[in-house]
Amino acid sequence: GQNIDQPTEMTATEGAIVQINCTYQTSGFNGLFWYQQHAGEAPTFLSYNVLDGLEEKGRFSSFLSRSKGYSYLLLKELQMKDSASYLCAVYDSNYQLIWGAGTKLIIKP
Amino acid sequence: TAGITQAPTSQILAAGRSMTLRCTQDMRHNAMYWYRQDLGLGLRLIHYSNTAGTTGKGEVPDGYSVSRANTDDFPLTLASAVPSQTSVYFCASSDESGGAKETQYFGPGTRLLVL
Q: What is the mean pLDDT of residues A26-55?
A: 95
Residue A1 has pLDDT above 80, yes or no: no
Contacts of A44 in chain B (CB under 8 A): 106
- In this prediction, residue A94 carries a pLDDT of 86
Q: Å from B108 to nearest chain A CA?
A: 5
Q: Å from A103 to nearest chain B CA?
A: 10
DSSP letter assigned to residue B73: B
Q: Would you say A59 and A76 are in contact if contact means Cβ atoms under 8 Å apart?
A: yes
Average pLDDT score, chain B: 94
Q: What is the mean pLDDT of residues B35-59?
A: 93
- In this prediction, residue B96 carries a pLDDT of 79
B106 near A CB under 8 A? yes
B107 near A CB under 8 A? yes
Do residue B103 and residue A33 have CB atoms under 8 angstroms apart?
Answer: yes
Preceding omega of B108 cis (within 30 degrees of 0):
no
Phi, psi of A34 (to 5 degrees): -120, 135
Residue B68 has pLDDT above 90, yes or no: yes
- In this prediction, residue B98 carries a pLDDT of 64
Q: What percent of chain A has pLDDT over 90?
A: 95
Q: What is the mean pLDDT of residues A7-26?
A: 97
Average pLDDT score, chain A: 96
Chain B window 25-64: which residues touch A at a Cβ cutoff of 8 Å? 33, 40-45, 58
Q: What is the mean pLDDT of residues A34-43?
A: 96
Task: Indicate the range of A25-34, B11-20, B36-45, B78-87 predicted with least confidence.
Answer: B36-45
Residue B99 has pLDDT above 70, yes or no: no
Contacts of B100 in chain A (CB under 8 A): 30, 95
Contacts of A38 in chain B (CB under 8 A): none
Phi, psi of A58 (to 5 degrees): 65, -125
Q: Considering CB atoms only, which of B41, B42, B103 is closest to A48? A: B103
Residue B32 has pLDDT above 80, yes or no: yes
How many Cβ pairs within 8 Å bridge chains A and B? 40
Q: Which residues contact A69 (CB under 8 A, 6 or more apart)?
A: A23, A24, A25, A26
- In this prediction, residue A65 carries a pLDDT of 98
